[in-house]
Amino acid sequence: MIRYYEKERIFKLDTPHTSYVIGIVDEENFIGHAYYGPRISDAGVGALMRTDEPPFVPSKNNRDRSSFLDAFPSEYPGNGVGDYRESAIEVLDANGNTAVQPLYVKHEIYAGKPGIPGLPATFADDGDCETLEITAEDAILHLEVKLYYTAFSDVDVITRSVRVKNLAKEPIFLTKVMSAALDMDAEDYEMLTLHGSWARERQIEQRKIGYGRQNVASTRGESSHQEHPFVALVSENCDQEHGRVYGFHFVYSGNFLAQVEKNQFDSLRIIMGIHPQDFRWELSEGETFFAPEVVLTCSQQGLGGMTRTLHDLYREHLIRSPYKDKERPILINNWEATYFDFDTEKLLAIAREAKESGIEMLVMDDGWFGCRNDDNTSLGDWTVNEEKLAGGLKHLVDEVNRIGLKFGIWFEPEMISPESKLYRAHPDWAIALPGRTPCRSRNQYVLDLSRKEVRDYVYEAVASILRSANIEYVKWDMNRQLTDLGSAVSGARGQGELLHRYVLAVYELQERLIGEFPDLLLENCSGGGARFDPGMLYYSPQIWCSDDTDAVERLKIQEGTALIYPLSAIGAHVSDCPNHTVGRVTPFETRGNVALAGTFGYELDITKIPKEDRAQIPGQVAQYHKYHALIQSGDYYRIASYSKNHAYDCYAVVAKDKSEALLTFVQVINRPNYHSRRIRVPGLAPQKRYLLEPGGEIYYGDTLIHAGINIPNMWGDFQSVRLHFTEVTEA
């Protein structure tokens, strides 16, 4: 899978259908990129680095050293030594200089994949991957840079990460450490990214790549609603099933930079890593900085090929929860049902009605603690408000369990309200800048989790609640982003470490939580989908996709999310109408069909919704149980996009063995005098026969793939239909 050709000084990394080639060049041992694309048999592609043509390598033409460095396709470009493109690493040394240039020293190839201390990362058994570890060094700074590449044997993925160690006696400051860099010919690639806002997360945008630097980034302390730590290069006229795609995804939950730079020679440099803004990390002698992981994938089968590869990777090599392959309980969350206005009897009434309809878990959201009757108070005071919950939390949980439902609870552990006992006792625990007017958001501050005593308090506050009753699910929320970047204890030299230490602290807290409560179903959330990233999937098997639960808006949000994340990770619920975010009224059936492309649950007051809606819930619950295994593990195919055609949406999930498929069609806008729509069903086995439900017709797979079927025009807007195809096995 990974081979080193000593004579050519070439590394070749192979996945099932792709190859990645690295070369060591010249006497100075520059580390160059030769090739990444469809799998090749030949390792002799070092000439693709163009070192045998002007400006030539420095040993042959050192008078034009800068010209060489500014054109050489570097695997991990240094800073300030002649390459004027974006660097992958920058430092501040004892002399105030910023130059650094890592050069090859040695390498090691071994089975398996090492973890990254304190950080989430993909994993695999020794037989499922191999790792190349290249040790580079800047001999002037005595700075060691280790580049890690892992090639998987079951998915077309290469992962990259970096470790930087100070071998000198004096400290050095890292001011930029990217996790990956890749140089390649520009050809005809366009740039695909996911942008958004609160309630509009992960909207797909594709655009031409112009000269200069174009990027997506977050400096909000989290991966953010606004941008996503992902970028893809797609060939011209690429679609779901045709064309070449390179995908880059950052396994991290904080500030990031994902950048594409087109230069004077029509080559592209892609970099991805922690955003250098407000980043300054001190490395003392012998200390190591661990940079997060980047996932790289290359597809020759268009966007759909990339999608299915990433889905498989995250399901099999990132999500660790025991719920990874288990049926998730269908929950009902009381947030949109009651907001802050509830008590024990109200929750039990919802639980009783939910049980009658087949729902399996009640989740108590915000408002159960301190004096929390609105969002202006009590964050940090994680003690039960017994004026609301008469008899206490355990009494409520026991009663819900007696009804026959599991119980879950909401926390926002990272935050502190200025109106709280905790803030009055420890105002210095809030992240703040001395002398400046504090910047509140949702009338709350952020706790300084870089401090151990704060982390310990937060953990014990959450864990003590979970120990007190039979709580089987936690929704971990974060409703504001970071500002006022100041820690009361970091000192002047440590303030630039705050943002990254904060993310490490969140990871530490969640690792402790699932360590003590291994059977807990943890769902991450951040004002909806502001921290929906691969890093969080390492700790929770599902993430709340968006606070916008409107079925029509969710079509676009879930399309962008499912482009790179498995449906089993997408928190999706049926909510009440008019929808609480946009005021739209959609049929209850359509709301259920859209939410089925996710974890599936309810966000409404089941005691108050119309009887005709409530009557549909048992059927929706039955549909979830029928299809959950297929949706959780099947291959996802995007057939039509409402965000592009503005009329209808269509997608399918096909079993790995091609034995069944579930197709969902949503007619968003009806049009007068319009015929039925022909839908072709991809992913089936051509020579298998399939029974269509409803209807009872039998089709060959190749008929459905190439000729398709007609879906009649439906009366009204926001209508939907779900089609189930099952293999016919009898003669």
Q: What is the 3-state secondary structure (H, E, C) of 392-414?
A: CHHHHHHHHHHHCCEEEEEECCC
Provide the token pair at 464. Answer: 């003590």
CB within 8 Å of 174: residues ≥ 6 apart: 89, 90, 91, 164, 279, 280, 281, 282, 283, 289
The owner of tokens 């904080």 is: 254
The owner of tokens 């259920």 is: 592
Q: Are strands 570-571 and 574-575 parallel, antiparallel or unpaired?
A: unpaired
Sign, CA dihedral 246-120-527-486, equals negative
User: Of 709, 601, 603, 602, whose CA–CA distance to 652 is shortest?
Assistant: 709
Confidence of residue 126 (pLDDT cuts 50, 70, 90): confident
CA atoms of 534 and 517, how far apart (whole Å): 21
CA atoms of 618 and 548, how far apart (whole Å): 24
Confidence of residue 63 (pLDDT cuts 50, 70, 90): very high
* Gyration radius of the chain's alpha carbons: 27
Delimit the CATH 2.70.98.60 region(s) of the chain.
Answer: 2-317
CB 683 within 8 A of CB 635: yes
Sign, CA dihedral 604-610-611-615, equals negative
Confidence of residue 308 (pLDDT cuts 50, 70, 90): very high
Q: How is 351-397 classified by DSSP, letter by letter?
A: HHHHHHHT--EEEE-S-SBTT-SSTTS-TT---B-TTTSTT-HHHHH
Q: CA angle 27-260-290, nearest 5°?
A: 65
Residue 672 has what pLDDT? 85
Rounded to the nearest integer, the mean pLDDT of the chain is 97
Residue 221: CB atoms within 10 Å? 25
Report the length, in residues, of the chain: 731
pLDDT, one tens digit per residue, over 574-601 is 999 999 999 999 999 999 999 999 999 9
Residue 696 has what pLDDT? 94
CB 436 within 8 A of CB 422: no
Residue 674: pLDDT above 90? no
Sign, CA dihedral 504-218-411-517, equals negative
- What's the average model confidence in pLDDT over 187-194? 96
* φ, ψ for residue 679, nearest 5 deg: -120, 125
Sign, CA dihedral 623-625-629-631, equals positive
Confidence of residue 67 (pLDDT cuts 50, 70, 90): very high
Provide the token pair at 443. Answer: 């009338």
CATH architecture of 2-317: Distorted Sandwich (2.70)
SS3 at position 571: strand
Residue 140: pLDDT above 70? yes
User: Of 79, 78, 75, 87, whose CA–CA distance to 149 is shortest?
Assistant: 75
- What's the average model confidence in pLDDT over 660-680? 94
pLDDT, one tens digit per residue, over 256-295 is 999 999 999 999 999 999 999 999 999 999 999 999 999 9
The residues annotated as belonging to the active site are 477, 547
pTM above 0.85, yes or no: yes
Residue 455: pLDDT above 80? yes
Q: How is 634-675 classified by DSSP, letter by letter?
A: SEEEEEE-HHHHSSEEEEEEE-TTSSEEEEEEEE-S--TT--
Of the options 1.10.443.10, 1.10.357.10, 1.10.300.10, 3.20.20.70, the CATH number for the domain spanning 331-633? 3.20.20.70
How many percent of the chain have pLDDT more than 70?
100
Q: CA angle 663-669-672, nearest 5°?
A: 115
pLDDT, one tens digit per residue, over 26-49 is 999 999 999 999 999 998 899 999
Delimit the CATH 2.60.40.1180 region(s) of the chain.
Answer: 640-727
Beta bridge partners of 145: 136, 164
pLDDT, one tens digit per residue, over 480-527 is 999 999 999 999 999 999 999 999 999 999 999 999 999 999 999 999
Confidence of residue 731 (pLDDT cuts 50, 70, 90): low
Residue 326 has what pLDDT? 93
pLDDT, one tens digit per residue, over 5-23 is 999 999 999 999 999 999 9
CB 586 within 8 A of CB 577: yes
Give the DSSP H or E segment for 258: strand 256-262
Delimit the CATH 3.20.20.70 region(s) of the chain.
Answer: 331-633
Residue 730 has what pLDDT? 78
Is the link from the previous residue into 55 a cis peptide, with omega within 30 of 0?
A: yes
The verdict on domain 640-727 having CATH code 1.10.1060.10 is: no
Helices 498-516 + 452-467 axis angle, to 10:
30
Q: Are strands 406-411 and 473-476 parallel, antiparallel or unpaired?
A: parallel
Residue 335: pLDDT above 90? yes
Beta bridge partners of 362: 332, 407
